[in-house]
Amino acid sequence: MTPKKTTPIKIIKVKNWSNNLVYLRTSRPECFIFNAGQFARIAAKTLNGIKNENLVWRAQSLTSSPNDKFLEFLILLGKSGEFSKNVNELRSRDILFLDNKNYGFLTLDRFRDVQDLWLFATGSGIAPYLSIIKNFPGLKNISRVNLIHSLRDSQNLNRYTEFLNKEIIFKSVEIKRKLTYLPILTQEITPLNGLVNGESIKYKSTKKRFTLMLSNGELEKLANCNLLPKKSKVMICGNPNMIRDTRNILKNMGFIANRRDNDGEIAVENYW
């Protein structure tokens, strides 16, 4: 569907971490306002000309903070499709098109009285959490931010670690002190590096899914933090199977979904 109002934005920086993961930094129109955790709709190129109705639009989570003067995206490309092909060919100074409207509800204002914030992601589902973590004023009343990131193997992990280290972990001492980051690899047994409250830790991947580690208490032990409905709020973003399984485990622990008519502890964003 073609947006009613769009704005051209210029690419400032582009990096292809692999054949299917692309980092983009673009200019930001003054008219574009968003909350940390939301996503935008962008178009990479026209199919048959320069008219809006010919643009290929896709929703992409923003990794930049609402306070940044630029926009950032981590885009996972498909094996086929015009949008993925166009994004893979982008270079600095190329032009994208931005839908002027923001989208999504994976935002902190859904919750009240957050002590510990748990962020569960698979793959590129980490993107909205990067925006939330970089928006440090929004975290000032939160004691712990626990980011749990499920990936297939260390090759996939390395793509995200570079971005995390440069843009978040080594950029702000205040953010690092609150942050726990635990990558979980499901297809490889290997030593891993993580953070617990800003302190580096070493542990070993055992090919367990974090849903198993969540249900047996192993994840709480590794994070050195109890996951309790009375003090914890949870966001889940990624593939539908992970979301379904994680939500069911949390419900068995006493958590309920956050909706307009209640103050539940679980917020969800499906990635497809």
pLDDT band at 262 (very low <50, low <70, confident <90, very high): confident
pLDDT for 79 beyond 50: yes
The predicted pLDDT at position 169 comes to 67
pLDDT for 129 beyond 90: yes
How many angstroms separate the Cα of 268 from the Cα of each of 50, 216, 256? 36, 22, 12
Q: What is this structure's pTM? A: 0.93
Q: What is the 3-state secondary structure (H, E, C) of 52-93?
A: HHHEEEEEEEECCCCCCCEEEEEEECCCCCHHHHHHHCCCCC
Between 222 and 160, residue with greater pLDDT: 222
Question: Phi, psi (5° rounding) for residue 7?
Answer: -135, 135
Instruction: Read off the pLDDT of each residue in 161-176 and give the average, rounded to a whole number.
Output: 75
How many angstroms separate the Cα of 218 from the Cα of each of 28, 75, 192, 258? 42, 31, 16, 25
Instruction: Read off the pLDDT of each residue in 58-81 and give the average, rounded to a whole number.
Output: 93
pLDDT for 210 beyond 90: yes
